[in-house]
A and B are shown apart, each in its own frame.
Chain A
Amino acid sequence: MKTIDLDHQSVRELNQGLHDQASACTEPEWLVLNPAGKHAIACGLNAKLSVDIQGHAGYYCAGMNQQASVTLHGNAGQGVAENMMSGLVRVRGNASQSAAATAHGGLLVVEGDAAARCGISMKGVDIVVGGSVGHMSAFMAQAGRLVVCGDAGETLGDSLYEARIYVKGKVASLGADCIEKPMRDEHLAELRELLNRAGIDANPSDFRRYGSARELYHFKVDNAAAY
């Protein structure tokens, strides 16, 4: 295992060391000490690495992740796992706003709460939040699944496209064009699989499903010529 102490080495040195593993993966396990809320820790990874970060991170932790498994033993600042392509990012504490923003793939697990705009413009990522999410979560979400084991804030799923949202607790309000939809067997099955992968103990039948009503302007074939 390779240990990097950010009290003595820079984030740039850490990230360069992690990026060097993309061409030849010689050191699969990394331990990061004293993150102290620094920004852009473990960004841009592209190798089957396991990275353990011991403490709280600042903005964009594990952003643009591919293949790697990153565990943050603390809270994450804004934009954790933003634009993730694949792999797994796990936050043991809470995440600030815009978690997994625009992410295309992989799985983000937030064991605590995620703040506003969780999964904003998500494009295929799966997100499982053990606690609650803030307002405008899954805004303009295009693809992927958002699972919320607690409550959801105002205007959940506003201007949603094809992403599916599962919420166990209360939803403060639904955004434009977001509606509740029936839970069919295939939804219970995919939710069970997501909760299992996230390692979160919850009963899929306690959740409700939300999705797009497909009533907004761009869903109307009459407007196709405008594009």
Chain B
Amino acid sequence: MCGIVGLYLKDPALEPRLGELFAPMLAAMSDRGPDSAGFAIYGDEVGPGRIKLTLQHEDPAFDWSAIASALAARSGNTAGSEPDWFQNATAAVFKLATSEGEARAAFSELAPDAHIMSVGRSIEILKGVGRPQAIIERFNLPAMQGTHSIGHTRMATESAVSMAGSHPFSTGQDLCLVHNGSLSNHNWLRKRLEKQGIRFETENDSEVAAGYLTWRLRAGDSLEQALHKGLEDLDGFFTLTIGTRDGFAVIRDPVACKPAVLAETDQYVAMASEYRALVHLPGIEQASVWEPDPARVYLWERTQALGAVA
């Protein structure tokens, strides 16, 4: 089953309230996905030349400050100062003046048991096994600020209940997606993408959809072009909600069995598997509320005029 939700703010005045508005959306989808939950939140962006990594460790007592000290001690770190970092429950966010490759190499050496959940300038992905409300509270989602967020509540069907199997999936910088449905050609597609250098952390079908988009964007496609190609190449049932550094998109497969509802006001665009996840949003009674068409790309980006693209 699974539930997916997304909230993309158009009005900067709402940005301090992103977590407060988004948390009830995720919690409302608990009936559709009680196993595990996760969300990506975009905001608190680092400047050019810097990179933000979100890591998680299964041991709640894991000593992140030791990792921060070790990072400082590594050669090349200017003045040996501690990197900019903070811990949030079982997760830690590091903001580093380095490349993704160097950062990954450092963490695989210093913290080989930690999972890198996301890499980018804006994205932070937090997820875990348990009731969505427990995940919301663990990471104190209601206090978070940002520009947009997408989330997932999981009822596992295609792979085990685990943190690794929870959404959102990210396979490239600042890109992530949540998926409701199941892909039928993911094994074939995964092999094809691995040959193109896309790395996968799990056997999950949804991660393949994320990898596919990463591959297309890396090849120079716009997000819109990548999504149109995805509609041709992804086979199976899917409603996908996609986040990028400055964009937000929703697509459904041509048969569109998996539910989706979109709502738009001057202040935000919201997506959910069911309308009841949207009822607390400001001005929802006056919002434009509709069911997205099958095989159509709905995309909002800060750099472009807002609105759906055919």
Contact = CB atoms under 8 A, between A and B. Distances in A.
Contacts of A77: 259, 261, 274-275
Interface in A90-144: 93-94, 96-97, 113, 115-116, 134-135
A110 to B, nearest CB: 12
B279 A36 contact: yes
B229 interface: no
A77 B256 CA distance: 14
Contacts of B291: 94, 96-97, 115, 134
B276 A116 contact: no
A75 B259 contact: no
Contact of A55 (B259, B285, B290, B293): B285
Which of A37, A38, A93, A96 has the largest number of chain B CB atoms within 10 A?
A: A37
Q: Size range of the interface on B?
A: 10 to 19
Given A55-B285, A78-B259, A96-B261, A116 B294 contact: yes
A56 B289 contact: yes
A94 B285 contact: no
Contacts of B293: 134
B60 to A, nearest CB: 36
B278 interface: yes
Which of A56, A59, A77 has the largest number of chain B CB atoms within 10 A?
A: A56
A75 B256 contact: no
Nearest to A38: B276
Given A96-B261, A116-B256, A75 B294 contact: no
B276 A36 contact: yes
A56 B256 contact: no
B294 A134 contact: yes
Contact of A94 (B274, B278, B289): B289
Contact of A135 (B285, B290, B294): B294
A56 B294 contact: no
Contacts of A113: 290
A58 interface: yes
Interface string A48-64: 00000001101100000
Nearest to A93: B289
Nearest to B293: A134
B275 A94 contact: no
Nearest to B28: A37
A55 B286 CA distance: 11
Contacts of B279: 36-37, 56
Interface string B80-92: 0000000000000
A96 B259 contact: yes
A94 B290 contact: yes
Nearest to B279: A36
A39 B289 CA distance: 17
Interface in B240-258: 256
B236 to A, nearest CB: 17
A37 B290 contact: no
Interface in B261-310: 261, 274-279, 285, 289-291, 293-294
B274 A58 contact: yes
Contacts of B275: 37, 56, 58, 75, 77
Contacts of B274: 37, 58-59, 77
A130 B291 CA distance: 16
Contact of B276 (A37, A96, A135): A37
Given A96-B261, A97-B256, A116-B294, A75 B276 contact: no
Contacts of B278: 37
B4 to A, nearest CB: 15
17 contacts: A36-B276, A37-B274, A37-B275, A37-B278, A56-B279, A58-B274, A59-B274, A75-B275, A77-B261, A77-B275, A93-B289, A96-B259, A97-B259, A97-B291, A113-B290, A134-B256, A134-B291
Interface of B: 256, 259, 261, 274-279, 285, 289-291, 293-294
Interface of A: 36-39, 55-56, 58-59, 75, 77-78, 93-94, 96-97, 113, 115-116, 134-135
Given A37-B278, A38-B276, A116-B256, 5 more contacts: A37-B275, A37-B277, A77-B274, A94-B291, A96-B291
- A-B interface, 10 closest residue pairs, ranked by CB to CB distance from nearest: A37-B276, A37-B275, A36-B279, A115-B291, A96-B291, A56-B275, A37-B279, A75-B289, A58-B276, A116-B256
